[in-house]
Amino acid sequence: MTDTKGTVVAVNGNMISVEFDGTVALNEVGYVKVGEKKLKSEVIRIRGDVAQLQVFEITKGIQVGDTVEFTGDLLVVELGPGLLGQVYDGLQNPLPDLAKQAGFFLERGIYLDPLPDATRWEFTPVAKVGDTVARADTLGTVPEGSFTHRIMVPFGFLGSYKVKSIQGAGNYALSDTIAELTDEKGNVIPVTMSFKWPVKRAINCYAERLMPTETLTTKTRTIDTFFPVAKGGTYCIPGPFGAGKTVLQHTTSRNAEVDIVIIAACGERAGEVVETLKEFPELTDPRTGRSLMERTIIICNTSSMPVAAREASVYTGVTLAEYYRQMGLDVLLLADSTSRWAQALREMSGRLEEIPGEEAFPAYLESYIAAFYERAGIVRLADGSTGSVTIGGTVSPAGGNFEEPVTQATLKVVGAFHGLSRERSDARKYPAIHPLDSWSKYPSIIDSRSVSYARSFLRRGTEVEQMMKVVGEEGTSLDDFIVYLKGNFLDAVYLQQNSFDPVDAAVSTERQYYLFKFILTVLGTSFDFADKDAARSWFNKIRMLFIDYNYAEWKSDSFRKIENEIRGSLEEMSKGIDPEAEKMIGLVHAQAGTAE
């Protein structure tokens, strides 16, 4: 706490204007005194000797003349062992502990330590006395769940340091000094197992930033095959309410091949957040067989909580993700929903009386969104290992209008677009990712030429469907009608996936290769149908068999039995296979062999 103090001269919703005497910095934390309570706030603009602060609490009771104490510190999070499995609010207060202390309704002005000092950790030293170290270098390790948590030189340390002393192996609390470092001027600096870092400053303690090229397997066929996400990449999921954004995020967080999952509920509806909090401790991690919460951090700031904390929750989440990336781990950050964060920015911009941009959003909306997604990436660390942060953000455009500013600003910076369709969700086609509107710049697990070949049937099938709405089915040729049926078949048996089926919810890369080759065979086959009714009847039968095929255990007797039945029916109606399809099947087969 510094000696700088101020006086409230104006109150405008959750923003206060404070006249101060001394030195104040942008993003500095201040506490406004309301009776016996101190409410946390952040400086968002300075004009002369007046600072505007956004208050992270309900501002009821704040009056002109109230005192504000400035801390001299920026808005920070505490980094150290014990973060995994926690549920925080946007200011990194542990919500379960807050609820125990405050009761049914959370009280204002209560701020708890995010990492309790009571827990003792089994420390194993790595550095030795006399070693030269720099920021982010490993001093020792402690076990945290199934991971080895690196105790690092704090990221704010600049230059090189000598290890003067370091504790031996043993159990220590977070506040215990585990090492003493000597800087270039001879000053001795104690180091504990935890330290603080400003949330709005990216952690850049790495040797090299790499291009995201490795596909992040999510085990969702639509994403992995058609609209892939790269490890260290970015993607967005815009869609109307009820289109399945939350379920898709839950499925991804459970099955994606990453080490750590961080969910930032930055303004999502309270009911959906409560559902997340109830479900995640009950979910079994397919990688470990234990609770999924053991490698998950949840940051809650629902739409019913103070607006200003939405922004804090976004930055808190990405800072925690960067911290674990520095340990050589792969982290997935899911932000739900960035539209509510943007609405908070719009509200604060209006209170600051800034010139508005489109739909009254601030003119700097695009730069804020870009700065957030730019904190994703895959990096090479000083020891040669790599770590990554993959960011996926949902967008909730009003009425499902993808032309609104938040969606458009997001599309300019992300590498993949998973647009959810109201039409598909109403038809119960889940995941409701639109197969023609969505796109990705990242490499798929399956050869891009084969994917383009399959996608052509979706496009041509849609064109035939639109034509049939005008001229009717009788005005369509049999060949065009078969193309339409093939497009529907691909949609039903590959793009659609049952998140609640124990087998179909998560499809391995090996099975996706195998299934896609099988489907290419169907798409490339020339059929001998007498008429459209015969074609429709056969494809309906094959579609149901393929759905049962998807629900069968991989390579089980049931799986083989259904496959043989499908192949027999296919041979019975086939007049041959298109050479182009054979070529595509060969590409996938060669790629599958390489992957294996």
Identify whether residues 426 and 352 lie together within a single domain: yes
Among 418, 440, 462, give the residue marking a domain's end: 440
| Structure letter (DSSP) for residue 302 | -
Dihedral sign for Cα atoms in the order 350, 353, 357, 362: negative
489 contacts 525 by C-beta, under 8 angstroms: no
Cβ neighbors of 474 (< 8 A, separation 6 or more) are none
Among 416, 440, 464, give the residue marking a domain's end: 440
Cβ neighbors of 582 (< 8 A, separation 6 or more) are 524
- The answer to whether the annotation marks 387 as part of a ligand binding site is no
Neighbours of 324 (CB within 10 A): 25
**179-182 and 195-198 as β-strands: parallel, antiparallel, unpaired?**
unpaired
What would the pLDDT profile of 91-140 be if each residue is shown by its tens digit? 999 988 888 876 667 788 889 999 988 899 999 999 999 999 999 999 99
Question: Does any domain span residue 199?
Answer: no
Cβ-count burial 162-182 (b if 16+ within 10 Å, e if not): bbeebbeeeebebebebbbbe
Task: Give the H or E element holding residue 567.
Answer: helix 557-573
- The answer to whether the annotation marks 67 as part of a ligand binding site is no
Q: What is the pLDDT of residue 39?
A: 94
Identify whether residues 87 and 235 lie together within a single domain: yes
Q: What does each C-alpha distance from 545 to 453, 533, 571 come to in angstroms?
A: 23, 19, 15
Identify whether residues 295 and 371 lie together within a single domain: yes
How far, in Å, CA of 572 to CA of 594, rounded?
33
Question: Does any domain span residue 202?
Answer: no
How far, in Å, CA of 86 to CA of 144, rounded?
12
Weakest-pLDDT range from 88-92, 362-366, 514-518? 88-92
> Which runs of consecutive H residues, i.e. helices, occur in 243-326?
245-255, 270-279, 308-325
Under the banding of pLDDT at 50, 70 and 90, the label for residue 328 is: very high
Identify whether residues 98 and 236 lie together within a single domain: yes
**Cα(first)–Cα(last) distance of the chain, in Å?**
58
CATH number at residue 145: 2.40.50.100
Question: Does any domain span residue 31?
Answer: yes
pLDDT score of 485 more than 80: yes
Identify whether residues 302 and 246 lie together within a single domain: yes
Question: Does any domain span residue 126?
Answer: yes
What would the pLDDT profile of 525-558 be if each residue is shown by its tens digit? 999 899 999 999 999 999 999 999 999 999 999 9
Among 440, 463, 486, give the residue marking a domain's end: 440
Domain count, the chain: 4
CATH number at residue 42: 2.40.10.170
Identify whether residues 424 and 319 lie together within a single domain: yes
> 527 φ, ψ to 5°?
-105, 155
**234-238 and 296-301 as β-strands: parallel, antiparallel, unpaired?**
unpaired
pLDDT score of 269 more than 70: no
Q: What is the pLDDT of residue 468?
A: 95
pLDDT score of 270 more than 70: no
Span 471-477, average pLDDT: 92
Identify whether residues 66 and 96 lie together within a single domain: no
Q: What is the pLDDT of residue 379?
A: 97
Q: At what angle do helices 532-551 and 478-490 cross, to 10 degrees?
A: 10
> 277 φ, ψ to 5°?
-65, -30
Neighbours of 279 (CB within 10 A): 12
Give me 408's structure tokens. Answer: 């458009």
Cβ neighbors of 220 (< 8 A, separation 6 or more) are 248, 251, 252, 255, 431, 497, 507
- The answer to whether the annotation marks 239 as part of a ligand binding site is yes
What pTM was estimated for this model as a whole?
A: 0.94
Identify whether residues 477 and 421 lie together within a single domain: no
Q: What is the pLDDT of residue 289?
A: 81
Place of tokens 């870009």: 370
pLDDT score of 357 more than 60: yes
Identify whether residues 24 and 155 lie together within a single domain: no
Q: What is the pLDDT of residue 302?
A: 65
Number of H helices, E strands in the chain: 15, 28
How far, in Å, CA of 203 to CA of 135, rounded?
11
Q: What is the pLDDT of residue 228?
A: 97
How far, in Å, CA of 190 to CA of 173, rounded?
14
Span 162-170, average pLDDT: 97
Question: Does any domain span residue 584?
Answer: yes
How many percent of the chain have pLDDT more than 90? 79
Place of tokens 């405008």: 12
How far, in Å, CA of 170 to CA of 78, rounded?
23
Identify whether residues 126 and 109 lie together within a single domain: no
- The answer to whether the annotation marks 240 as part of a ligand binding site is yes
Question: Does any domain span residue 200?
Answer: no
Span 377-401, average pLDDT: 93
Neighbours of 151 (CB within 10 A): 26
448 contacts 440 by C-beta, under 8 angstroms: no
How many percent of the chain have pLDDT more than 70? 97
Identify whether residues 286 and 412 lie together within a single domain: yes
Span 50-72, average pLDDT: 94
pLDDT score of 241 more than 90: no
pLDDT score of 596 more than 60: no
- Give the closest residue to 507 by CA, choosing from 473, 567, 456, 553: 553
- The answer to whether the annotation marks 130 as part of a ligand binding site is no
> 82 φ, ψ to 5°?
110, 0
Question: Does any domain span residue 198?
Answer: no
What would the pLDDT profile of 122-134 be if each residue is shown by its tens digit? 999 999 999 999 9
pLDDT score of 514 more than 90: yes
Q: What is the pLDDT of residue 3?
A: 79
- Give the closest residue to 334 by CA, choosing from 256, 269, 403: 256
**What's the domain range around 361?**
83-114+207-440
How far, in Å, CA of 391 to CA of 387, rounded?
13
- The answer to whether the annotation marks 232 as part of a ligand binding site is no
What would the pLDDT profile of 181-226 be if each residue is shown by its tens digit? 999 999 999 999 999 999 999 999 999 999 999 999 999 999 999 9
Question: Does any domain span residue 64?
Answer: yes
CATH number at residue 485: 1.10.1140.10
- Give the closest residue to 199 by CA, choosing from 32, 336, 74: 74
- The answer to whether the annotation marks 399 as part of a ligand binding site is no
Under the banding of pLDDT at 50, 70 and 90, the label for residue 1 is: low
Under the banding of pLDDT at 50, 70 and 90, the label for residue 43 is: very high
Identify whether residues 329 and 222 lie together within a single domain: yes
